Amino acid sequence: MQGLPEPQGPPVALLLPSQQTVFAEAAEALRQGFFAADQASARPIGIQVLEVDDDPAQLRSAVNGARQRGVKIVVGPLPRASVNALVDGGGAGVPVVALNYPERDAAAPPNMIALGLSAESEAQYLVRVALGEFVGIRRAPGAAPRFVVLSGPGTLERRIAQAYMSALRAAGEPPLLLETATEPAERLAQRFDPDRHEAVFLALDAREVALIRARIPRSILAFGTSLLNAGDSATSPEAAALAHDLDGVRFVDMPWLLRTDSTGPAGSPLPVTPLSRDLARLFALGVDAYRVAIRWSAGETQFVLDGMTGRLSVDRRAGPRVERTPALAIYRNGVIEREGTQR
C-alpha cells in the first residue's frame, strides 16, 4: 500500500519583521493589507506568515524552510538590509516579490522583483514631470541654475534631496542646494531669484514647508514628495490650515490617499479600522504586493496594473524594480486637487 502524499504547504510565504523589531507596527499594517486583498479575491490562496528578526542566518533559515514546505512564492522581506541579505544569498529558490528595493539591482536573481514605497523614486519622478510638463528643457546650456533643491536636516530629507539633485544633474540641470539648517528663515527669501529660478524641489514635510511657503516667490513653481500630504482638510483642522499655507504647491502620493471618497481602485479592500497615513501606505503596499505576487507567481514577467499605491509596471527584462507611478496633486484654495490623467 502506497503511503499518503506529504501535505503541501501554503502557496505563499509572507516574510515580515518580527514583533520584536522596530518594524513591528509597519509589518502588521502590511499584513492586514495582504490578507485583506486575499479575502477580497475571487480565488483566495493559502498564506503562511513567517516572522524574522535582523539576523541574516534566520532569514536564510526561514526562506529555506518555506521552500522545503512547497511554497510557490515568497513575498518579502520588508527592510532594505534584509532584501540585500536575500540578494547576497542568491535568492530564495522560488519566485520572490521583495517589499523594498535592493541596493544593487543587477545582483537580484532573475526570479526576484522588488516593490517599494521609495521617497527617492518619488523625487526622481517629480523631476521628470516638472521637466516634461511644467518648465520644459533648458533654454541655454551652461546658464546659471534655474532650479533650487531645498532640504531639511533629517536623514530621509537629505536622501530625497540627493535624489532630486541626481535626477536634475542627469538631465543637464545642476541645481542650487539650500538647507534649512544653515539658511536662517529671514535670509531664505533672498536666496530665491524669481528672474532666474523656475522651480524649487522640496525635501521637507508639510509642516516645514508651511512655515517657509511665504518666502518662496509665487512665480517659482514648488514640487514635493508624499511628505507634503497633510491629509483631508474636511476632517482635520490642522490639515485645513496647512492646505491654505501650502497653496500652489504640487506633490505626489499614492492615488488612494488622494481620493476624497476614501475608496481604492475597483476591487481593492479598505482597512477595517482607520490608520495613520504612514500605516495606510503600508496597508496599500500589502494589497498591491498581493496582486503583483499572484501575477508574478503565474509566470508573467511583463505587466501593468492600477494599484492603490499607483500604476505599477513590471518588466523583468528591464530590471527587478516594479516601477510605481504615483498621482500628482496640487494645493488650491484650501483643498488638495488631483492633476494629470492618473486618476
- Give the model confidence (pLDDT) of 253-284 as tens digits: 999 999 755 556 666 888 988 899 999 999 99
State mean pLDDT over 323-335.
Answer: 96
Q: With a cut of 60, say whether residue 5 has pLDDT above it.
A: no
Phi and psi angles of residue 74, each rounded to the nearest 5 degrees, phi first: -110, 130
Phi and psi angles of residue 244, each rounded to the nearest 5 degrees, phi first: -70, -40
What is the average pLDDT score of the chain?
90
pTM confidence score: 0.91
User: Residue 170 — very low, low, confident or very high, per pLDDT cuts 50/70/90?
Assistant: very high
In contact, 119 and 226? CB cutoff 8 Å:
yes
Q: With a cut of 50, say whether residue 8 has pLDDT above it.
A: no
Of 52-61, 113-122, 323-332, the range with the lowest mean pLDDT is: 52-61
Q: With a cut of 50, say whether residue 246 has pLDDT above it.
A: yes
Please report the pLDDT score of residue 1 as a whole number. 34
User: Residue 141 — very low, low, confident or very high, per pLDDT cuts 50/70/90?
Assistant: low
Give the separation between CA 33 and CA 115, rounded to whole angstroms: 14
Per CATH, 12-117+265-322 and 120-253 having the same topology is answered: yes
Q: With a cut of 90, say whether residue 241 has pLDDT above it.
A: yes
Of 10-14, 136-140, 266-270, the range with the lowest mean pLDDT is: 136-140
User: Residue 50 — very low, low, confident or very high, per pLDDT cuts 50/70/90?
Assistant: very high
Give the separation between CA 309 and CA 266, rounded to whole angstroms: 13
Read off the pLDDT of residues 177-231 as tens digits, 9 standing for 90 and up: 999 998 887 888 899 999 999 999 999 999 999 999 999 999 999 999 999 999 9
Q: With a cut of 50, say whether residue 108 has pLDDT above it.
A: yes
Q: With a cut of 80, say whether residue 139 has pLDDT above it.
A: no
CATH, domain 120-253, list 3.40.50.720, 3.30.70.860, 3.50.50.60, 3.40.50.2300: 3.40.50.2300
- 218 class by beta-carbon count within 10 Å (0-12 exposed, 13-18 middle, 19+ buried): exposed
* Domains of the chain, residue spans: 12-117+265-322, 120-253
State mean pLDDT over 45-54.
Answer: 91
Instruction: List the CATH code of the domain at 12-117+265-322.
Output: 3.40.50.2300
